[in-house]
Amino acid sequence: MKTAIVTGGAKGIGRAIALKFASSGVNMVVNYLSTDPKELVAEIEALGVGALAVKADISDFAQAEELINQAKEKFGTVDYLINNAGITRDGLILKMKEADFDAVVDTNLKGAFNTIRHASPVMLKQKSGAIVNISSVVGITGNGGQANYSAAKAGLIGLTKSIAKELGSRGITANCVAPGFIETDMTDSLPEAVKKQILESVSLRRYGKPEEVADLVYFVANCAYMTGQVVTIDGGMA
């Protein structure tokens, strides 16, 4: 039985990804930092697969290593690594605090480096594996007030393309999924005027659902002859 790790897996897109993989017969390692995934773990186990919740701040190199180690110790393999964990600290560049820039880059970009750095030796030994990094459409287009977030998500694209070249000869794929605006806690907190403006820029005139992103992530992770690619799912926004 294969094993998947999803970072930031306790809610939103990460939760949907965890349930999608579990429903397809994959053992799940759910990484979290603040939201306890106890109920999610029970849901996953009810699907007949193994589940492990690991609290770790993936922006910390050592904690990311411990996440990978616990997954390997519990299930023996790391077949899928889904880097979904992300935070926002929005603000105009003229007023953005250095700490807010650093926090977003450390979690959204360096966090992915940390997990990949520790998971790749496991995958190399297996001569198989799939890495999917959750970028964002704003990593392609940019977005006012999100210089830190857009930069980190664009960095994920470059990271993905580079590791695809490095790891491909050993049967390991690396791809990006770039969602647009998806129904999550992050979008729920936006002012109504901003929500209306966003929807006017989306051809389908609605937010995406976490489950729709999860379906795409699962497809990409299991597409054995696709690597180094960026696949958007944004309702026609970009």
Counted residue by residue, the chain has a size of: 238
Alpha-carbon distance of 118 to 96, in angstroms, equals 32
Burial of 191 (0-12, 13-18, 19+ CB in 10 A): exposed
Is residue 149 part of the annotated active site? The answer reads yes
Name the H helices within the chain. 12-23, 38-46, 61-75, 98-105, 111-126, 138-141, 147-167, 185-188, 192-200, 210-221
What residues pair up with 80 in beta bridges, in sequence order?
4, 130
Quote the CA–CA distance of 21 and 171 in Å, as a whole number: 20
Query: What is the number of other CB atoms lying within 10 angstroms of the CB of residue 58?
Result: 27
Q: Tokens in use for 230?
A: 């960026």
Q: Please pick, among 32, 80, 149, 207, the residue that the annotation labels catalytic.
A: 149
List, by residue number, the catalytic residues.
149
